[in-house]
Amino acid sequence: MTAVTLTVNGAERSLEVEPRTLLVHALRDELRLTGTNVGCDSSSCGACTVLVDGQSAKSCTMFAVQADGADITTIEGVADADGTLHPMQQAFHEHHALQCGYCTPGMVMAAISLVEEYPGLDEHGVRHGLEGNLCRCTGYQNIVDAVLAAAGSGGD
Amino acid sequence: MIPAAFDYEVAESAEAAISLLAEHGDDAKLLAGGHSLIPMMRYRLATPSVLVDVGRLDDLRYIRAGNGTVSIGALTRHSELEHSAALAEACPLLASVAALVGDPAVRHRGTLGGTLAHADPASDLPAAVLALGGTIVAQGPGGSREIAASDFFTGYFESVLDADEMITEVRVPADRGGWNYQKFNRRAQDWAIVGVAVAGGGSGVSLVNMGSVPVRASGVEAALAGGASAAEAAAVAADGLEPPEDLNADAEYRSHLARVLTERALNAAGVA
């Protein structure tokens, strides 16, 4: 077992993991942060997207030991403590950018990173930028609308 | 899909990584961004018993342009290539191709040295480095050596790298000549079914997924050098190649794509 210290949603967390433990499993099974979903298990679908040092990463394609010392943000950590939604969450809410909701945590995390990385996104940029996040309800139109709205309102 | 168990070592320097590789031999693998290796480990196509993590070697994350050359540290991530103003100025082909790898989350983790060492003939960046006539710097126990990209790849997922060598730097000539990259796929974020990189106004042309290694389209380059038009040169793009066959495309279709995409890439690069 290997000792790993992560800052998760602002709080320092120490845990002992096997080196082969994937970050998503450390978050879900060890830290009980089950908002991050496992989808394809092969780095294609983006359901497991979290922020590592502020940038989107697929937590199924990263060992927890690689994240030692890193700052991790999951979907549980983006709203304010008083429950006020993050602007991206609010935009998803207002634009009904979800159907079954399974892809939503990963979509929101990927979208937060996307608008930060690419200022001035247009529709094509949003669609291209979210290529790595699959919605099997195929509800992409409202997701794109939500991300464009959040980007326009300075939502990051 | 949980990888087989392995021992994990963090390398504090390239030298430390190389001695760990020398100590563990073929059982050890370097871990950089992990975006090729970890999926292979999850499918148990790769079962290294030791992983040497070089992902923290931030002194190998740099892009330096000067004297007609761009030197890039092996641990430089695709997103850093994509957003580098220096690279966009000195070698726009490489920055542009980096922006087409995978998706943003993949580009935040994947590294240039990693994708070259992985030596997947379907990957984008190895073909770009090949078209540019780049050089790969590998460090081993006995020191460093420079390997021309055209000598580097030897087969599917295989290169001339020894088991105890590590890529430390990649050098490409500054290239403001006509350039383009065509990536053809059917699914978003997928590997290219066929890709074509054009550098230096057609003096360097390479093909993605048209053989067991990234292929330099020397027939196209020679035709252009001899005065052929883009259309005439592109017609020989697939000559002599043995493209792979898979669910996406048979060899005949890949050959067709290589010809069509080469002409498109040449035209976009300003070659009539």
pLDDT tens, A50-83?
999 999 999 999 999 999 999 999 999 999 999 9
The residue whose two tokens read 């252009």 is: B224
Task: Kindly report the CATH number assigned to the domain that includes residue A130.
Answer: 1.10.150.120
pLDDT tens, B218-231?
999 999 999 999 99
Of A44, A55, A61, the CB nearest to B38: A61
Closest CA to B199 of B123, B143, B271, B272: B271
Judge whether A36 and A59 are in contact, CB under 8 Å: yes
- A-B CB pairs within 8 A amount to 82
What is the reported pLDDT for A129?
96
pLDDT tens, B22-78?
999 889 999 999 999 999 999 999 999 999 999 999 999 999 999 999 999 999 999
Q: Do B84 and B114 share a domain, yes or no?
A: yes
What is the reported pLDDT for B188?
83
Instruction: Tell if the CB–CB gap between B51 and A110 is shorter than 8 Å.
Output: no
pLDDT tens, B252-268?
999 999 999 999 999 99
Q: Do A70 and A109 share a domain, yes or no?
A: no
Judge whether B30 and B60 are in contact, CB under 8 Å: no
Q: Which domain holds residue A29?
A: 2-75
pLDDT reading at B80 higher than 70: yes
pLDDT reading at B187 higher than 90: no
> Quick check: is A18 in a domain?
yes
Distance between alpha carbon A56 and the CA centroid of its chain, in Å? 7
What is the reported pLDDT for B189?
83
Q: How many CB atoms are located within 10 Å of the residue A32 CB? A: 8
> Quick check: is A80 in a domain?
no
The number of folded domains in chain B is: 3
- Cα–Cα distance, B7 to A69 (Å, whole number): 19
pLDDT reading at B136 higher than 50: yes
> Quick check: is B63 in a domain?
yes
- The arithmetic mean of pLDDT across residues B144-148, rounded, is 98
Distant-in-sequence, close-in-space partners of B60: CB < 8 Å, separation ≥ 6: B14, B54, B73, B74, B75, B76, B113, B168, B169
Residues of B near A (Cβ–Cβ under 8 Å) read 1-8, 31, 34-35, 38-39, 41-43, 51, 53, 55, 79, 83, 102-106, 108-109, 188-189
Residues of chain A under the 50 pLDDT cut: 154-156
Q: Do B65 and B160 share a domain, yes or no?
A: yes
Q: Which of B30, B108, B111, B186 to mutate to test the interface with A (most CBs of A within 10 A)?
A: B108
Closest CA to B52 of B106, B114, B137: B114
What is the reported pLDDT for B123?
97
> Quick check: is B2 in a domain?
no
Element (H or E) spanning B15, and its range? helix B14-24
| Residue length of chain B | 272
Tokens coding B188: 């978003």
Q: Which domain holds residue B249?
A: 180-268
Tokens coding A78: 């983006």
What is the reported pLDDT for A156?
42
- Cα–Cα distance, A58 to A24 (Å, whole number): 8
Q: Do A94 and A141 share a domain, yes or no?
A: yes
Q: Do A71 and A6 share a domain, yes or no?
A: yes
User: Could you report the predicted ipTM of this complex, rounded to two decimals?
Assistant: 0.95
> Quick check: is B1 in a domain?
no
Instruction: Tell if the CB–CB gap between B189 and A58 is shorter than 8 Å.
Output: no
What is the reported pLDDT for A153?
57
- The arithmetic mean of pLDDT across residues B121-142, rounded, is 97
The number of folded domains in chain A is: 2
Q: Do A66 and A111 share a domain, yes or no?
A: no
- Cα–Cα distance, B97 to B129 (Å, whole number): 10
What average pLDDT does the structure give for chain B? 97
Instruction: Tell if the CB–CB gap between A61 and B34 is shorter than 8 Å.
Output: yes
Q: Do A128 and A148 share a domain, yes or no?
A: yes
